[in-house]
Amino acid sequence: MSQTDETGELGYLSIAEASRRFDDGSLAPTALTRALFERIDATDDALNSYVRVMPESAIAEAEAAEERARGGRRLGPLDGIPIAVKDLYDTAGVVTAGGTGAYRERVPLEDATAVRRLREAGAVVLGKTNTHELALGGTTNNVHFGATHNPWRLERVPGGSSGGSGSALAGGQALGALGTDTGGSIRIPAAFCGVTGHKPTYGLVGRGGVMPLSLTLDHAGPMARSAEDCALMLRVLAGPDPLDHDSAMREGEDYAAQLGAGVAGLRLAVIPSLVEDCAEDVAENFERALDTLRSLGATIDRREPMAGYPDWRQVLGPVLVAEGATHNETILRQWPQTIGEPVRTRMLRGLEVPATAYVRGLEMRKVVEARFEATLAEGFDAYVVPTSPQTAEPIGEDPHTEAAPPFKFRNTYVFDCTHQPSISVPNGFDGHELPTGLMVTARKFADGLVLRIAHAFQQATDYHLRRPEF
């Protein structure tokens, strides 16, 4: 095996497998970290997943993890694991720009809560991944830092706004990653890049030190290759955060310990309005996924939680743009030229949202949350729908004029509004060999159940194990 092949193999290890190899001494954290940097050096000109790498601090973290491993003092499954961090999370002493020109030289003094938790668990922070500017978009075609490319088809987007994290995972450049999700920004890149992305229950993972877009809808969470790896990450990430006023202020659980229970006897709900108008291959892969879940012992029925509310989506719309514009009002007013189009235009419109429309949106969000929780209380364990009704579209030639396509977020945005835990796992490919995703969502704080269903599906399929050739 050539050195390039070997670094590629190590780059596609699961977190769980790498941790086992650290335990038995067959792999050292420094060797894995160096292999990941070699992989990044070899592939990131094509992918542009990272906006900056942190080799000196990462090697030092890996050396500390290796010393603990040699002494039988590993801190847990994430000790020595190389992780990529979306460039919305503060990293002490390292620029956190949020994908915008206004913050190109912004250097935080402290780590975001999630980054701190990862480091306390021994994780190795490889660097900062590209994001759609200010997290307001779904392509990661960034005016300031360049477009990120999808490893499955380099001319396609990786999704957004956590597109750099999705691309890094699919490209074998990290074993896990941090993303954020306001309208689908963890789950869309997971679906488009053929990896796994978990949006935890709102408030379960603290957002302290994360650049906000919409505090009503923002979620912080893990991305990896499998539900098992996301469970290992969530165990570390979940917990009280005094820096996040919406923190659930509750401890996490041992989510990995819950994975083996399977889906036999579970009752799952398909939402018809989130299946109609899907691309043909997306719909076919979804139906095959349902057959897999049935074969594992799940029962599947159909329910429409928002029946009788024909205009509920339109009412919700103003919340995200109004809050995003408000959080970024200073730079919009004083340095608008530092924000590229079309993000600047969309945010400026957000400053014009009437208070009445904003308040009605907040009220409707509560209705949506209540109805989706109530439908599950009728005897369902979880919802299953396609992650996105489409696959990855071509990268726009001019990021300054790229329009925001709301259709791709149609399914994911719903579950930001419900505040429920929601995961996307790979469930097939379309005719262009682009990945599709299956999304599983359960009641609030049933993150263990969502991860368990996703894990059972992945134990019966191999889509999450496939790798792109690029």
Question: Is residue 392 a contact partner of residue 434, using CB atoms and an 8 Å limit?
Answer: yes
Structure tokens at 149: 């490319």
DSSP state letters, 278-334:
--HHHHHHHHHHHHHHHHTT-EEEE--TTTT-TTHHHHHHHHHHHHHHHHTHHHHHH
* Catalytically annotated residue among 86, 128, 408, 444: 86
Structure tokens at 339: 């924000």
Least Cα distance to 191 among 220, 156, 228 occurs for: 156
Residues 99, 103, 104, 110: what is their CA dihedral angle, to the nearest 10 degrees? Answer: -100
Q: Is 185 a catalytic residue?
A: yes
Q: Is the Cα torsion angle 430, 385, 324, 210 positive or negative in sign? A: negative
H or E stretch covering 236 = helix 227-237
Tally the C-alpha atoms within 13 A of residue 344's C-alpha that lie toward its C-beta: 20
Q: Is 161 a catalytic residue?
A: yes
* Catalytically annotated residue among 185, 214, 247, 388: 185
Q: Which amino acid is at 124?
A: V
User: What is the CB neighbour count within 10 angstroms for residue 276?
Assistant: 9
**CA separation (Å) from 178 to 125, 168, 319?**
10, 11, 24
* Catalytically annotated residue among 14, 19, 49, 161: 161
HEC string for 358-423? HHHHHHHHHHHHHHHHHHHCCCCCEEEEECCCCCCCECCCCCCCCCCCHHHHHHHHHHHHCCCCEE
Alpha carbon distance 6, 11 (integer Å) = 9
Question: Is residue 176 a contact partner of residue 15, using CB atoms and an 8 Å limit?
Answer: yes
| Strand 176-181, strand 82-86: pairing | parallel
The residues annotated as belonging to the active site are 86, 161, 185
